[in-house]
Amino acid sequence: MRLYFVDLENINATGLEFIQTITEGDRYYVFYSDACSDISEETIRRIRDKGGSINLYKVENGMGNALDFQLSTYIGYIVREDLHRVHEYIIVSGDKGYDVICRFWQEKGYCIYRISSFSYNSESRKEITASELRFYLDKRTLPYEAEILQVINNVGNTQRLYANLGKIIRNARSTGILYRRIKPLFLSRFQTTGKTEN
Q: Specify whether 102 is located in the same domain as 135.
A: no
Q: Specify whether 109 is located in the same domain as 31.
A: yes
Select from 23, 22, 40 the least CA-distant residue to 32: 40
Q: Specify whether 11 is located in the same domain as 88.
A: yes
Instruction: Please report which confidence band the pLDDT of residue 71 belongs to, taking 50, 70 and 90 as the band edges.
Output: very high
Q: Specify whether 71 is located in the same domain as 142.
A: no
Q: Specify whether 65 is located in the same domain as 151.
A: no
Q: Specify whether 107 is located in the same domain as 35.
A: yes
Contact 186, 163 (CB under 8 A): no
| Per-residue pLDDT, 33 | 83
Q: Specify whether 55 is located in the same domain as 144.
A: no
Boundary residue ending a domain (94, 120, 146): 120
Q: Specify whether 144 is located in the same domain as 52.
A: no
Mean pLDDT of the region 19-40: 79
**DSSP string of 26-93?**
-EEEEEEBTTB----HHHHHHHHHTT-EEEEEEPP-SSTTHHHHHHHHHHHHHHTT-TT---EEEEE-
Rounded to whole angstroms, the Cα distance separating 101 from 181 reads 24
Instruction: Please report which confidence band the pLDDT of residue 193 belongs to, taking 50, 70 and 90 as the band edges.
Output: very low
Instruction: Please report which confidence band the pLDDT of residue 19 belongs to, taking 50, 70 and 90 as the band edges.
Output: confident
Q: Specify whether 116 is located in the same domain as 23.
A: yes
Boundary residue ending a domain (87, 120, 153): 120
Contact 152, 186 (CB under 8 A): yes
Instruction: Please report which confidence band the pLDDT of residue 117 belongs to, taking 50, 70 and 90 as the band edges.
Output: confident
In this predicted structure, the answer to whether residue 166 has a pLDDT above a threshold of 80 is: yes
35: containing domain: 2-120
Give a yes or no: residue 195 inside a domain: no
Q: Specify whether 12 is located in the same domain as 105.
A: yes
Q: What is the pTM of this model?
A: 0.64
Select from 45, 190, 24, 79 the least CA-distant residue to 16: 45
Mean pLDDT of the region 84-98: 87
| Per-residue pLDDT, 123 | 46
Other beta carbons within 10 angstroms of residue 150's beta carbon come to 12
Query: Out of 36-40, 51-55, 81-85, 131-135, which region has the weakest mean confidence (pLDDT)?
Result: 36-40
